[in-house]
Structure 1
Amino acid sequence: MTELDPRVDPPMAVDETATLTAFLDYHRSTLALKCAGLTDDQLRLRSVPPSGLSLLGLVRHMAEVERYWFQGVLLGEEIATGHYWTQAEPDADFDGVDTADVTTDFATWRAEVEASRRAAAGLPLDTVGKRPRRGREVTLRWILAHMVEEYARHNGHADLLRELVDGSTGE
């Protein structure tokens, strides 16, 4: 951790729960770092067409993903629509960034991250979610591993988007 990079490296000799949650938090911090110091317009900047990816779209998408897996699947809450998506506009998390309120969207993502932490706190990794996914039971272990994978994939996109915005590269 440095002043420019506030991330904390995941510990190398801890139990499975601590390992998974540390890697997930590391990747959450990586997305925040990729967005740090940019203007609203820079966060909305789209990649090369036909892709509609933007850093803000990734943040909005991850808010939806956090909510779906931890609130919807793990806790079994009913989620009829998302913060951004609707049945009519399933990709609004990515597509609706042009007039989006950046401050509100980052606050929504951070709130969903905190809600996810609370949802998983103290639960054994073998805890089965209250709502199946595609008819199959899902454990907290699977959700945490999937979330690490989801963030890691999108952080690769964020690397390229940040380089497009201002030439910055790095971890």
Structure 2
Amino acid sequence: MTWTAPAVERTPVPPTGTEAAQLRARIAHQRATLLDRCAGLNGEQLARRAIPPSTLSLLGLVRHLAEVERGWLRTTAAGEQLGYLYCATDNPDGDFDDARPADAADDFAAYHRETAAADAAIRDLALDHEGRHPITGTPYALRWIYLHLLEEYARHNGHADLLRQCVDGRTGA
């Protein structure tokens, strides 16, 4: 049996609430949007590179955003000492370049683990909490990191819309 990306329900962002609740809800919505663009596709479709010579694919985006969640929320904000999931000094684009159809289920599971671990790592941190980038030492407030993640997801979800349309013509709202 061929694995396919499962359907996902996107919960609307509540129009009221604290700043922290609003940011968390918007991140959750962006995460669900990415997964929605992948829903129903198999590993071959997810790994399809629509615009040669680019290595951009839906599966690569899932891998990249797992890496982003780990790097910004767990490592920078929460200070966890972690390595990369897919990238390395000698392979900085491994998240995109090494996306393989046969690994799609494992890559989706890693994405889900990373988002859950990221949420747990920052759950009790205030928006003004400052973490330090592990390479540059630059301090970043959790608020800044949330806003950066929203930018990152929004940009890549735009890519995901186009990639999905190239695979099967589906467009999303």
Under a length normalisation based on structure 2, what TM-score does the superposition of the two structures give?
0.91
Deviation at 1:30, TM superposition (A): 0.3
| Unaligned runs of at least 5 residues, structure 2 | 1-6
Aligned to 2:31: 28
Aligned to 2:72: 69
Give the C-alpha shift of residue 97 in structure 1.
Answer: 1.3
> Do the aligned residues in 2 keep the contact of 1:132 with 1:138 (CA within 8 Å)?
no
Q: How many residues align?
A: 167
Q: CA RMSD in A?
A: 1.6
Write the mapping of 1:40-59 to structure 2, written as runs, cut at 5 A: 40-59=43-62
Q: Secondary structure at the match of 1:138?
A: strand
Deviation at 1:140, TM superposition (A): 0.7
Residue number in structure 2 paired with 1:120: 122
% identity of equivalent residues = 48
1:122 CA drift (Å): 2.4
Deviates more, 1:84-93 or 1:131-140: 131-140
Contact kept, 8 Å, 2:44 with 2:101, in 1: the verdict is no
Q: d(CA) in 2 for partners of 1:118 and 1:164?
A: 35
Name the residue aligned to 1:82. Answer: 84
For 2:146 and 2:64, the matched residues in 1 are separated by: 17
1:26-72 CA-partner distances (Å, limit 9, x unpaired): 00000000000001100010021121100000000001000001121
Query: Once the 2 structures are TM-superposed, how far is the Cα of residue 123 of structure 1 from its aligned partner?
Result: 1.7
Q: CA 1:97 to 1:132, structure 2 compared with 1: closer, same or farther past 3 Å?
A: closer
CA 164–96 in structure 1, closer or farther in 2 if over 3 Å, else same: same
Partner of 1:97: 99
The alignment's TM-score, normalised by the length of structure 1, stands at 0.92
- Name 1:142's counterpart in structure 2: 144
In structure 1, list runs of 5 or more residues that go unmatched: none
CA-to-aligned-CA distance 1:111-151 (integer Å, 9 cap, x gap): 00001110111221001114467342101101111111111
Q: Partner letter of residue 120 of structure 1?
A: I
